[in-house]
Amino acid sequence: MEQPSLLDQIMAELVPIILSALGIVTTAFIAWLTTWLRTKFKLEEEAAHSVALNTAVDNAAGGVINEMGESAVTTVVAPTSPAVKRAVTYVRERNPDAVAYFEIPPAAIAEKIVNSVGKQTAPSLKG
C-alpha cells in the first residue's frame, strides 16, 4: 500500500480547519447583512414617518390659513390659538404612528404648524 504524500497529509489536516473558518466567516457575513438591512429599512421607516408628518403639518397649516382668513396673513399666528389647537389635533389623529415614533409633544406640533403657516403666507406678503 502506498504511503500518502506530505501534501495529502497537510491537506487532510487543513481541510477541517478551512471549513470551520469558512463557516465562521459565512455566519459573520449573514449577521452583518441582517444588521445592515435592519438599519437600512429603519431609515426608510423614519423617512416615511417624516414625510407623512410634514405633509400633515402643511395640510393643517393650510386649514389654519383657511379658517383664519386674512388675519393668518397679516398677524402672527399664536401656537395657542383655537385654530392651531384644532390643527394639532388633526396632525395627531392623522399620523399617530409618526407622532409616537418621533415622540413629538403637542406644543412642538403647534410650533411646526405656526412655522408652516408663516412659510405658506410669506409669498403673499411680497406683493
Cα separation, 83 vs 61, in Å, equals 9
Residue type present at position 51: V
Nearest to 92 by CA among 83, 103, 77: 103
In this prediction the pTM is 0.66
Q: What confidence tens digit (pLDDT) does each residue in 35-75 have? A: 888 888 877 888 899 999 999 999 999 999 999 988 887 78
Cα separation, 53 vs 113, in Å, equals 11
Reported as a pLDDT band with limits 50, 70 and 90, residue 22 is: very high
Record the cell numbers describing residue 27, joined without a space.
455566519
In this predicted structure, the answer to whether residue 125 has a pLDDT above a threshold of 70 is: no
